[in-house]
Structure 1
Amino acid sequence: MSRDQRPTDFEPERGRLKRLAYRMLGSLSEAEDVVQDAWIRWARVDESIDVPAAYLTRIVTRLCLDRLKSARARRETYIGPWLPDPLLTPADPQEIIADDVTVTLMLAMERLSPLERAAFLLHDVFDVPLTDVAVTLDREPAAVRQLASRARKNVRSERVRYALDASEADRIARAFFTAARDGDTKALADLLAEDVEIHSDGGGKVLAFRNIVRGIDRVLKLFAGVRRKDLSPPTLLRTAIIDGLPGYISRNPDGSVGTTALQLHDGRIRAIYIVRNPDKLAHIAEAR
């Protein structure tokens, strides 16, 4: 393979590599940086590469493992709950199939070691053969099998695949937005599960809940209180699929945007993931 052939081999892999880096790191900007670094390294390779896709996957995974060390240190001092950057995913007009890697699963993967996370994503999500994962992680196949197995058991309860009609997802998102905006506790009570949680990520840069809010009673009081104090409620821009979950993009009174993703269980909202940190929303603001 000549150097002139490198862009031709790299570009078809760019999207997949970015998805892998994003799911390893939870940051779209860092994922883009990793892919760019991978391209630079790829362009400098002199020897012939028989399977470019496998080679590039190896580069990106190793770059992500290096970055995870500093990322975890930053999250230890993060102000308030940390959430991954919201990734808007296209939806089929007839049916929405939740991605294997939802916001909920990405948070569960935070419990894994970097190697467990890599083994799980590569083998279980991206369907990389176990022998190739072993080469990527520089481990014996048996050790990689154990890493993936431990990871799978740790996140099993959060890896729930479900199908949701697009119109129903839109209806639930709009109903929740309206009820939350109006502080309508009766309508909210009909939508929420008893063990509902709110995760709100402001990163210490904008107003957000500093702790996870748990339980329907606390959540209802919170929304009622916010409505009483807030004379300028947010505006719904559009509904969206955010990391495989139904949700919406809204504009706050100050002009900034935010995203809200809703995890459903047995027809009710079990978790609410709100991202308001402006550092995580630049791509949303530009796209709207």
Structure 2
Amino acid sequence: MNQKIDFYKNLEPFLSCKDYTVSGEVYQVKKNTEFDLLATVPVPKNLSDYYKSEDYISHTDSKKSVLDKVYQSVKNITLKRKLKLVNKYLLCQESISRPEKNILDVGAGTGDFLKVCQNNSWNVFGTEPDLGARTIASKKGIILQEDLSKLEGKEFEIITLWHVLEHVENLQEYISILNNLLSEKGRLIIAVPNYKSYDANYYKQFWAAFDVPRHVWHFSKTSITKLFSLENMIVEKTLPMKFDSYYVSLLSEKYKTGNMNLLKSFYVGFISNWKAKSTKEHSSSIYVLKKR
């Protein structure tokens, strides 16, 4: 790892956000101008306690509420797209030499993505800090480690983080660990929300993807490029996650008004994607990275 950088140095005020999922507490979101990066301040020492909610859907397979059903339906569609993406970038590596099909999914939740990969002949590995989610995954035949320390010394052709990097506290150190786990010709695939999207600017402090304090960091395209350049990695491709604008708008509308206004949420999500055709600032983006 290069010289350690203090991302909390010289932060500028940006906005205040409420935790709508667990505590109801208000946090400051501040900006590191050099990296175009937002930080949640302060980060609770007992951060793991802020994930203990039935509303935190990525740790469950719940289909109780309307939001649950929307989330699970969209997830089934996106799983196939994610598999297509990782297969594509394995083929990029095969043009050089035939690699192993080893994939690591960081923050694997209940293991659905790795199960799809396993059914497609991948050797699957994953991490998930939440015990309940790991237990659900194990019932699907997917054994997850608690953290990356259990995988030291291994090497992976593909490493994925689907909406995980924003949760990581020691950001620079974590990126360095990911780089060390990636094979020389491998690809790191990261999906994160984009605080410069139309829906983020529309909902402001009510934007659900701020999700304080669980989201420690809030990224832009510039911040991803700058952060990974510290590890001598480059962004090879940026792809939109178009479904995210609709789901995030649905949640944001609930936070802002107290009601899930389906028509209004769909309209904001649609406009966000439409504007992103020219601005390229989607609600969430996928970044494919490789070693320089």
TM-score range, shorter chain: under 0.3
Give the TM-score, by structure 1 length: 0.23
Give the TM-score, by structure 2 length: 0.23
- The structure that is helix-richer by fraction is 1
